[in-house]
């Protein structure tokens, strides 16, 4: 096919076809880059003619074309953004080829919609679609494509063949563009409450993006962590009683006889010197299971206190294993040397 050959008949509105690929109605074949069309023999004047007013095609973004008229669907816009950002989009492609480098990944509200968030707007209602690209790429935002630059693009998850940022990263990129505290709180709450990601991973990502100092984000995270800790405490209570474990003392402070504080524990069995610590993230991006929390555990264990750390997800998904861990620790206490004496005070 050459530039002087007659144009092929315009495809029907119901079954538009790409050049050299007759009979295809897939969205993948409706959105093509200039390079892909050039490989099929359509470029220059021929391409311009098909995209002129009244022609069968239209330009979506610079160098990206929709091979039909009418309003583009949400998926067509997503594929258009990925092509604009320089990533070939193959139908049903589960992952990049081995050794391939991720160059563009959907993020923000579009990614959350693909992840199934009910609090994210439908794709067709999004004015802008965020796409992560390496910081070194020379691209600018244009049309409905908003470029988000990153030092390193995260390994994507694939949803309907499209590369999508992990939930925690997508939430961070979404709330970075939101000023409405209510909208921020809904996204943060659904991310964890809907089981999409761990609170620790989300808080760490928000901290990495330096968003925790923003009042809407800080308020949403504080509410999330309060709800998350309360829910974890309820599950811990339920675990103790459902599995007929001995009654512990709840939420107590431990001290040495001289008054040196050892920290708070969520449950403590005084006779066996067994403690449970809930590993819940703090608002500064840390968690009880890191930094100060780890040091507290090590100090208690050096004194002979058995410390069992539990995450909210473990309490939710593995209650049998967590109950077994507590029961085993209580039984093992019968055969070990007496630990150092500690003072137990109400929190």
Residue 232 clears pLDDT 70, i.e. is over it: yes
b vs e for 246-265, b when ≥16 Cβ sit within 10 Å of the residue's Cβ? eebebebbbeeeeeeebbbb
pLDDT at residue 270 in the model: 92
Residue 12 clears pLDDT 50, i.e. is over it: no
pLDDT at residue 236 in the model: 96
pLDDT at residue 292 in the model: 54
- Report d(CA 101, CA 78) in Å as an integer: 20
The domains located in the chain, with CATH, are 1-70 (no CATH), 239-346 (3.40.960)
* For residues 107-118, average pLDDT: 97
> Are residues 321 and 329 in contact, defined by beta-carbon separation less than 8 angstroms?
no
Note the pLDDT tens digit of each residue in 146-172.
Answer: 999 998 899 999 999 999 999 999 999
pLDDT at residue 87 in the model: 61
Residue 25 clears pLDDT 90, i.e. is over it: no
Judged by DSSP in three states, 281 sits in strand
Pairing of strands 129-134, 145-150: parallel
- Report d(CA 258, CA 48) in Å as an integer: 85
Judged by DSSP in three states, 315 sits in helix
pLDDT at residue 290 in the model: 41
* For residues 70-77, average pLDDT: 95
| pTM score of the predicted model | 0.70
Question: Looking at residue 142, what DSSP letter applies?
Answer: B
pLDDT at residue 111 in the model: 98
pLDDT at residue 2 in the model: 42
Beta bridge partners of 146: 130
* For residues 303-321, average pLDDT: 91
Note the pLDDT tens digit of each residue in 184-213.
Answer: 999 999 998 888 988 888 999 999 999 999
Question: Looking at residue 63, what DSSP letter applies?
Answer: T
pLDDT at residue 296 in the model: 82
Ranking 80-94, 217-231, 319-333 by mean pLDDT, the lowest is 80-94
CA atoms within 13 A on the CB side of 113: 18
Could you tell me the pLDDT band of residue 43, with boundaries at 50, 70 and 90? confident
pLDDT at residue 156 in the model: 94
Provide the percentage of residues in the chain whose pLDDT is more than 70: 84
Question: Looking at residue 335, what DSSP letter applies?
Answer: G
* For residues 91-114, average pLDDT: 71
Question: Taking all residues of the chain, what is their mean pLDDT, rounded to a whole number?
Answer: 84
Residue 4 clears pLDDT 50, i.e. is over it: no
The residue among 347 and 129 whose pLDDT is bigger is 129
pLDDT at residue 49 in the model: 93
Q: Which of 146, 170, 139, 1 is nearest to 78 (CA)?
A: 146
> CA dist 334 to 9, 208, 248, 299, 303, Å?
86, 45, 16, 21, 16
Note the pLDDT tens digit of each residue in 252-286.
Answer: 999 998 888 898 999 999 999 999 999 877 655 45
- Report d(CA 197, CA 190) in Å as an integer: 9
Question: Both tokens of residue 138?
Answer: 């020379």
Could you tell me the pLDDT band of residue 55, with boundaries at 50, 70 and 90? very high
The residue among 340 and 326 whose pLDDT is bigger is 326
Which alpha helices (H) appear in 93-252, and where do they start and end?
108-114, 167-175, 181-193, 199-208, 215-242
> CA dist 292 to 50, 212, 311, 347, Å?
65, 20, 16, 18
- Report d(CA 63, CA 181) in Å as an integer: 37
Judged by DSSP in three states, 222 sits in helix
Could you tell me the pLDDT band of residue 102, with boundaries at 50, 70 and 90? low
pLDDT at residue 26 in the model: 55
């Amino acid at each position: 096919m050459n530039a002087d050959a007659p144009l092929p008949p315009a495809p029907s509105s119901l079954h538009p076809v790409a050049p050299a690929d007759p009979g295809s109605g897939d969205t993948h074949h409706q959105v093509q880059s200039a390079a892909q069309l050039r490989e099929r023999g359509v470029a220059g004047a021929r391409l311009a003619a098909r995209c002129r007013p009244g022609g069968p095609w239209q330009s979506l973004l610079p160098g990206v074309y929709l091979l039909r008229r009418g309003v583009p669907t949400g998926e067509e816009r997503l594929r258009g953004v990925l092509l604009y950002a320089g990533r070939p989009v193959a139908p049903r492609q589960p992952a990049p080829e081995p050794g391939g480098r991720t160059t563009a990944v959907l993020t923000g509200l579009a990614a959350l919609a693909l992840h199934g968030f009910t609090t994210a707007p439908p794709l067709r209602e999004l004015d802008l679609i965020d796409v992560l690209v390496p910081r070194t790429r020379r691209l600018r935002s244009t049309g409905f494509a908003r470029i988000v630059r990153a030092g390193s693009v995260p390994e994507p998850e694939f949803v309907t063949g499209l590369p999508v940022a992990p939930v925690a990263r997508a939430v961070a990129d979404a709330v970075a563009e939101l000023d409405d505290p209510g909208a921020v709180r809904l996204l943060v709450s659904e991310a964890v409450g809907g089981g999409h990601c761990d609170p620790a991973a989300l808080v760490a990502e928000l901290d990495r993006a330096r968003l925790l100092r923003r009042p809407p984000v800080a308020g949403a995270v504080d509410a999330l962590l309060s709800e998350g800790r309360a829910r974890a405490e309820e599950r811990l209570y339920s675990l103790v009683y459902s599995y007929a474990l001995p009654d512990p003392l709840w939420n107590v402070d431990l001290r040495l006889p001289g008054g040196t504080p050892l920290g708070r524990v969520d449950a403590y069995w005084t006779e066996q010197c067994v403690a449970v610590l809930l590993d819940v993230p703090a608002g500064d991006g840390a968690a009880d299971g890191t930094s100060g929390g780890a040091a507290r555990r090590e100090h208690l264990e050096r004194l002979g206190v058995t410390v069992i750390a539990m995450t909210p997800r473990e309490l939710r998904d593995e209650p049998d294993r967590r109950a077994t861990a507590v029961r085993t620790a209580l039984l093992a206490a019968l055969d070990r040397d007496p630990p150092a004496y500690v003072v137990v005070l109400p929190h």
